[in-house]
Amino acid sequence: MDVCLGIDVGSVTTKFAVLDEKSDLVTSLYWRTSGKPITMIQEGLKEVEQRLPLNANILGVGTTGSARYLAGVMVGADVIKNEITAHAIGALHYVPDVQTVMEIGGQDSKIILLRNGVVVDFAMNTVCAAGTGSFLDQQAARLGMKIEEFGQQALQSETPVRIAGRCTVFAESDMIHKQQMGHRVEDILYGLCEALVRNYLNNIALGKEITPPIVFQGGVAFNQGIIRAFEETLKSQVIVTPHHEVLGAIGAALLAQEEIKTKKEKSKFKGFEVTQLDYRTSSFECKACANICEIAQIFSDGRVIARWGGRCDMWERTSQPERM
């Protein structure tokens, strides 16, 4: 069996997806990054290896996410792509005529506009948590419930209250006030769903033409309350695709599949042996010009194997023989 592997390493979660030759999902992983991307990549590869059939052959590997370069260097990726491209490809795989992709993750959110299968516009938020999954996590914890219970309880709301959702601090203060006034928990929960949707549409999607079919993906798409709030606000059906939580990884795997077919070269994948290697990272400021770029570097066996992060490719072109 020839398969392609996609890895999506985000700030909150790390996702793996393996596709067969027909681009069907063979297996996937979705777990917390926990601030340890190197460990999670290695542990994820171990789990993937155990789940794959003995005759499986990794034909190509793609990486995406905020730590895509780190993951790409570690595993030997054939293609390293940004989240916009990976999520757009993943959405097109399940909804070929998709026009709008809304993605909300743990600490960032994005909107992607496609026309005739081509990305024509996008926007991302990586600064404020008020429009992301961590916003809901924090408020669920404050109410003493698991985030898995959040959506179903929110759907029970009949008279949702308006929560000030522009900022997590204001939201928490407003929640306390609404609780003291005697509002039901489910009404507060759905009010939070509406606040997140309002924040997303007024910030990330501001000025964007949201046209159906609309696809909603990312971990927050598990929350039925958010889906209902989007549909009520947009007055349109919101499609949640299969495997929406790992769609970035699926997109990366599809891109790797296409790369291998096009170039007809052997994969750069280093093999599952990378799970046994010792990696560490560090960074430094480049003062070669006024940009003062922060350069990230990764070491294996005490040797620099890659650098990235600059506005130019000066450090990426630097040979890597020195030990540090």
DSSP 8-class letter at 162: P
Report the DSSP beta bridge partners of residue 114.
119
SS3 247: helix
Read off the pLDDT band of 165 (50, 70, 90): low
Domain ranges within the chain, ordered by starting residue: 2-88+247-276, 96-240, 279-317
Integer Cα distance of 204 and 242 in angstroms? 24
Query: Residue 167's pLDDT band (boundaries 50, 70, 90)?
Result: low
CA distance 79 to 4: 11
Statement: 2-88+247-276 belongs to CATH 3.30.420.40: yes
- For position 119, what pLDDT does the model report? 95
131 vs 289: CA distance, rounded Å: 36
What integer is the mean pLDDT of 250-264? 93
Q: What is the pLDDT of residue 322?
A: 38
Q: How far is CA 19 from CA 25, 64, 75, 82, in A?
A: 5, 16, 17, 19
What six digits make up the tokens of 153? 């309880």
Give the chain's mean pLDDT: 87
- Convert the pLDDT of each residue in 24-67 to its tens digit: 999 999 988 888 889 999 999 999 999 998 889 999 999 998 88
- Contacts of residues 311-320 at CB distance under 8 Å and 24 or more positions apart, as own/partner, are 314/286, 314/288, 315/286
Question: Tokens 């698991």 belong to which residue?
Answer: 146
The rounded percent of the chain whose pLDDT value lies above 90 is 45
Q: pLDDT tens-digit profile of 111-134?
A: 999 999 999 999 987 555 556 777
Q: Which residue has the higher pLDDT, 150 or 68?
A: 68
Q: What is the mean pLDDT of residues 3-9?
A: 96
Q: Write down the pTM of the prediction.
A: 0.86
CATH topology of domain 96-240: Nucleotidyltransferase; domain 5 (3.30.420)
**Picking from 106-120, 147-161, 211-225, 278-292, which range would have the lowest pLDDT averaged per residue?**
147-161
In whole angstroms, give the CA distance from residue 109 to residue 267. 32
| Residues whose CB is less than 8 angstroms from the CB of residue 59 and which lie 6 or more positions away in sequence, other chains included | 2, 3, 4, 256, 257, 260, 267
In the predicted model, is pLDDT for residue 324 greater than 60?
no
Token pair of 240, please?
């949640």
Distance CA 51, CA 69 (A): 25
What pLDDT was estimated at residue 188? Answer: 85
Residue 26's φ and ψ, nearest 5 degrees, are: -90, -45
Domains 2-88+247-276 and 96-240 alike in fold: yes
Parallel/antiparallel/unpaired status of strands 13-19 and 2-9: antiparallel
- pLDDT band (50, 70, 90) for residue 72: very high
Question: In this structure, how many other beta carbons lie within 10 angstroms of the beta carbon of residue 99?
Answer: 18
Helix (H) or strand (E) holding 87: helix 83-94
